[in-house]
């Protein structure tokens, strides 16, 4: 849609109220037994299993893809009584040069390959080069592109520049989905987070995402609540559903449940599916599997199976 400043300019964001709302979620008793297992099993489906290291190699990516194909042990799968294909992760996320090996390793599984692009994580490259990087990743077979925005546009309130940038990236993605990383830890205020979310959605983002995982502050519940409410407001105004992806700092099974509770209460059950919600939290998978192992066997796994690369 066209840039519509009226949808976000002057929109109040009550930081204290957002923190109180999130404290309610954090203070609740966690679900137990079969219900906990159901929430955790769903969390596996929502994870973008990721490696974004300077020493990534095709062999490491292939090992990560093997984990993506079978994130839970045979014992846990049997104990839960589920089809193994149900427990596969939402996507595998890599750098553009690793997209080809990932696509080949996941052939026939239906698991999409996501690629960061646009000068990840800082995004401080000329726009034509960032667009070329998107095109390269898509040509290699990436079905999803995680782009980073220019934070300066948000900090200066230059919404037309941000809109034009994201719209150009959306066009470069072609049929691939675009996840717009806002780097919320660098945007200073929740009002900026709300506005940046709205602009990204207006420019065609399929998902809005909190962080690169490289900032000093990544996904938090108040930031997530602000972005989720922007998604809700956008859906109510346009009838178009946009996904949400918290990333960075989410490590535990408790995190997996808390963020799903947030999505369920603020947006509803459709946002508990991989087409509208993802976790950028590879390390979370180890604790989720550990808790599911305990649910099935009464014992905790030793952790050796959870070494992915």
For 224-265, write each residue's pLDDT tens digit. Answer: 999 999 999 999 999 999 999 999 989 999 999 999 999 999
> What is d(CA 214, CA 122) in angstroms, rounded to the nearest whole number?
9
What's the pLDDT at 123? 95
Mean pLDDT computed over 8-13: 92
Could you tell me the residue ranges of all domains in the chain?
A: 5-306
What's the pLDDT at 113? 98
> 304 pLDDT exceeds 70?
no
> 307 pLDDT exceeds 60?
no
> What is d(CA 240, CA 16) in angstroms, rounded to the nearest whole number?
29
> 63 pLDDT exceeds 50?
yes
Q: Which of 48, 179, 209, 255 is catalytic?
A: 209
Mean pLDDT computed over 31-55: 95
Mean pLDDT computed over 66-70: 96
Q: Is 34 a catalytic residue?
A: no
What's the pLDDT at 303? 54
Mean pLDDT value across the chain? 94
> What is d(CA 102, CA 92) in angstroms, rounded to the nearest whole number?
8
* pLDDT tens-digit map of 274-283: 999 999 988 9
What's the pLDDT at 28? 80
* pLDDT tens-digit map of 118-158: 999 999 999 999 999 999 999 999 999 999 999 999 999 99
What's the pLDDT at 308? 46
CATH topology of domain 5-306: TIM Barrel (3.20.20)
> 161 pLDDT exceeds 50?
yes
**CB 181, CB 247: distance < 8 Å:** yes
Across-strand partners of 47?
279
- 308 or 168: which leads in pLDDT: 168
> 167 pLDDT exceeds 60?
yes
Q: Which of 48, 67, 146, 206 is catalytic?
A: 146
pLDDT band at 301 (very low <50, low <70, confident <90, very high): low
How many Cβ atoms from other residues are within 10 Å of residue 74's Cβ?
9
pLDDT band at 309 (very low <50, low <70, confident <90, very high): very low
Q: Is 146 a catalytic residue?
A: yes
Mean pLDDT computed over 89-102: 98
Could you give the percent of the chain with pLDDT greater than 90?
A: 90
What's the pLDDT at 109? 96
Q: Which of 48, 67, 245, 255 is catalytic?
A: 245
Q: Is 67 a catalytic residue?
A: no
Mean pLDDT computed over 72-100: 95
Q: Which residues contact 163 (CB under 8 A, 6 or more apart)?
A: 3, 199, 202, 203
The whole-model pTM stands at: 0.94
């Amino acid at each position: 849609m066209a840039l519509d400043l009226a949808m976000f300019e002057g929109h109040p964001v009550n930081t204290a109220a957002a923190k109180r709302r999130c404290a309610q979620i954090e203070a609740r008793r966690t679900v137990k037994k079969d219900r906990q297992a159901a929430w955790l099993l769903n969390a596996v489906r929502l994870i973008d299993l990721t490696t974004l290291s300077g020493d990534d190699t095709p062999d490491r990516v292939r090992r990560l893809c093997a984990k993506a194909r079978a994130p839970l042990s045979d014992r846990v799968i049997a104990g839960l009584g589920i089809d193994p294909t149900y427990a596969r992760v939402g996507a595998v996320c890599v750098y553009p040069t690793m997209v080809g090996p990932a696509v080949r390793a996941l052939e026939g599984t239906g698991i999409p390959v996501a690629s960061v692009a646009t000068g990840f994580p800082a995004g401080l490259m000329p726009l034509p080069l960032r667009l070329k990087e998107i095109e390269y990743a898509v040509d290699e077979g990436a079905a999803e592109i995680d782009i980073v925005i220019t934070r300066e546009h948000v900090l200066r309130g230059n919404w037309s520049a941000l809109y034009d940038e994201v719209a150009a990236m959306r066009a470069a993605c072609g049929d691939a989905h675009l996840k717009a990383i806002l780097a919320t830890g660098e945007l200073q205020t929740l009002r900026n987070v709300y506005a940046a979310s709205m602009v990204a959605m207006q420019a065609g983002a399929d998902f809005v995402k909190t962080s690169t995982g490289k900032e000093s502050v990544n996904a938090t519940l108040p930031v997530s609540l602000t972005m989720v409410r922007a998604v809700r407001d956008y859906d109510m105004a346009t009838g178009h559903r946009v996904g949400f992806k918290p990333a960075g700092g989410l490590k535990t099974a408790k995190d997996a449940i808390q963020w799903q509770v947030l999505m369920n209460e603020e947006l509803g059950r459709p946002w508990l599916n991989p087409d509208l919600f993802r976790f950028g939290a590879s390390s979370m998978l180890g604790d989720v599997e550990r808790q599911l192992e305990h649910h099935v066997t009464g014992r905790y796994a030793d952790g050796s199976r959870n070494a992915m690369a």
